[in-house]
């Protein structure tokens, strides 16, 4: 089956997967979505016998149908190799209440590695397939993890450059140090004085700026995105939901056909949308539980049907979720709007102009696959402490939000369906917040000392990604106001 892509806002239709990956964002500002979601034809029994790489090929080949088997296996085998520190790529850890899907065993110890390890290969392969002459400029906003994972993936990849914007005071100390020490002659990271939503809005504006596009083309450049708005980011994320289900079957924890829940700590909505796509493919999923932190705009949306970003913005201990404009939600809106691009475009226009929109009662009824909850800072810390005391297992702050939300969900619903919680980052990435939750005696220690503390507490060796930044040279120091983002891009590219 040949899967083609269209824009959620209607301007582009019947685009092959490779072109959707190259462009990142549609010309009308919409997101590329498959004309139809392909089905999993293979049995769970078949899939459960496969390696991660083979499951990846099975799932991704259905979405990326214009890539040949040779091309796609090349991308997969180069992405999911020894840069991951476990053979399983995404292992499951069982506690007494749930299964934690560890998505942080890649180069930058966060779940973004799962997709950003393969995106450079998908993109450069797509460039060859489409005879692209221009150099690809990856332009990306990050709330902490995407930036480092994208730069690590694209560093020194021929025919590409990457420029990342992040909120100066809106990421953890480790996240910032990982970015500003990134090597690679084609990498650039810029701090902005606003928050993540400001960075994301600035990047989207540049994608839609026709004059900038003309100037880029004249200079031999073309923009693309490494954010989860790029379908090349989203499709690889579908894989690990299918893989985790099959691993539960393989381990005898469930039988093929049994339903499970997924709990996903959610900011930009891409990770939980990938789980939704897995369900649409035919994976037996009961509920998709959307976990928010104090910036609970998604929780309010699922409860009321109104998405309203007009609210206070909070800096929390789970900074990758400190987001008020969840870009990937547009793909779900398009789905519940009956794949009506006009309706979707109107709702997104309302969000842009008024900061909010409301879906109809009929559309809201189509959100029944989802449950939602949010966690306060105190509840997040309590989840870290409790999980450590009961299971001797250390959660990062984002995964703790999900664990906290899941505990409340079970209490409210009595739902005892086997549940997988997406564990999206290593606790080493947020060591200070994690150790504070476990015991405040660690508060007086330096950031570097706390890595050693966490090794003793967790029994897990300090990841290579952390060891590397301890002595790494700071290479990126640019800071700009939000209204100067395009000027910085022009300067960096010599326009």
DSSP bridge partners of 404: none
Tally of CA atoms within 13 A in the half-sphere of 418 that contains its CB? 21
Residue whose pair of structure tokens reads 């008020």 in the numeric block: 324
Tokens of 481: 């106001």
Closest CA to 493 of 188, 119, 152: 188
DSSP bridge partners of 32: 7
Q: Single out the catalytic residue among 112, 129, 148, 429.
A: 112
Tokens of 25: 């964002």
Residue-level length of the chain: 495
Q: How many CB atoms lie within 10 A of CB 311?
A: 13
Query: What phi, psi does 135 have (nearest 5°)?
Result: -75, 135
**Distance (Å, whole) CA 202 – CA 188:** 16
At what angle are helices 397-413 and 377-391 packed, to 10 degrees?
A: 90
Helix (H) or strand (E) holding 481: none
Q: What is the maximum span of the chain, computed from C-alpha positions, in angstroms?
A: 61
Residue whose pair of structure tokens reads 């079970």 in the numeric block: 410
Helix (H) or strand (E) holding 190: strand 187-192
DSSP state string for 267-311: SSSHHHHHHHHHHHHT--EEEEEEEE-S--HHHHHHHHSEEE--S
Query: How would you list the strands of the sheet with 221-224, edge to edge?
Result: 221-224, 135-141, 160-167, 187-192, 479-480
**Distance (Å, whole) CA 47 – CA 101:** 17
342 catalytic per annotation: no
8-state DSSP, 463: P
Would you please indicate which residues are annotated as catalytic (active-site) residues? 112
């Amino acid at each position: 089956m040949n899967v083609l892509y269209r824009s959620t806002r209607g301007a582009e239709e019947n685009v092959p997967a490779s072109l959707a990956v190259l462009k990142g964002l549609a010309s009308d500002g919409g997101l590329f979505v498959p004309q139809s979601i392909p089905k999993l034809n293979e049995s769970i029994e078949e899939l459960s016998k496969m390696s991660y790489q083979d499951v990846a090929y099975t799932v991704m080949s259905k979405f990326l149908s214009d890539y040949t088997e040779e091309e796609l296996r090349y991308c997969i085998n180069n992405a999911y190799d020894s840069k991951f520190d476990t053979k399983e790529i995404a292992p499951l850890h069982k506690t007494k209440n749930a299964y934690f899907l560890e998505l942080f065993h890649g180069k930058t110890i966060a779940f973004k590695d799962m997709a950003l390890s393969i995106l450079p290969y998908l993109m450069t392969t797509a460039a060859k397939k489409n005879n692209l002459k221009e150099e690809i400029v990856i332009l990306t906003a990050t709330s902490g993890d995407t930036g480092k994972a994208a730069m690590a993936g694209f560093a020194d990849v021929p025919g590409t450059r990457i420029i990342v914007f992040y909120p100066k005071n809106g990421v953890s100390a480790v996240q910032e140090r990982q970015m500003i020490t990134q090597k690679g002659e084609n990498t650039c990271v810029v701090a902005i004085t606003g928050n993540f939503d400001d960075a994301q809005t600035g990047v989207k504006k540049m994608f839609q700026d026709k004059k900038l596009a003309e100037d880029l083309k004249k200079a031999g450049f073309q923009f693309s995105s490494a954010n989860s708005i790029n379908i090349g980011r989203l499709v690889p994320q579908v894989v690990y939901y299918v893989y985790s289900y099959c691993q539960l079957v393989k381990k005898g924890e469930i039988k093929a056909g049994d339903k499970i829940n997924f709990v996903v700590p959610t900011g930009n909505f891409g990770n939980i949308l990938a789980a939704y796509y897995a369900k649409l493919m035919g994976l037996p999923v009961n509920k998709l539980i959307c976990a928010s932190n104090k910036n609970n705009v998604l929780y309010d949306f699922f409860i009321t049907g109104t998405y309203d970003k007009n609210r206070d913005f909070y800096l929390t201990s789970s900074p990758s979720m400190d987001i008020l404009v969840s870009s990937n939600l547009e793909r779900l809106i398009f789905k519940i709007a009956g794949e009506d691009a006009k309706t979707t475009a109107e709702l997104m226009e309302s969000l842009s102009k008024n900061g909010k929109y409301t879906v109809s009662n009929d559309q809201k009824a189509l959100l029944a696959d989802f449950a939602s909850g949010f966690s306060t800072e105190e509840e997040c810390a309590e989840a870290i402490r409790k999980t450590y005391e009961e299971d001797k297992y250390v959660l990062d702050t984002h995964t703790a939000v999900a664990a906290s939300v899941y505990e409340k969900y079970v209490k409210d619903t009595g739902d005892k369906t086997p549940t997988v919680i997406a564990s999206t980052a290593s606790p080493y990435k947020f060591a200070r917040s994690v150790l504070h939750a476990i015991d405040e005696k660690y508060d007086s220690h330096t950031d570097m000392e706390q890595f050693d503390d966490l090794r003793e507490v967790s029994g897990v060796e300090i990841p290579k990604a952390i060891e590397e930044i301890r002595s790494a040279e700071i290479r990126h120091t640019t800071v700009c106001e939000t209204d100067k983002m395009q000027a910085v891009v022009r300067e960096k590219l010599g326009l």
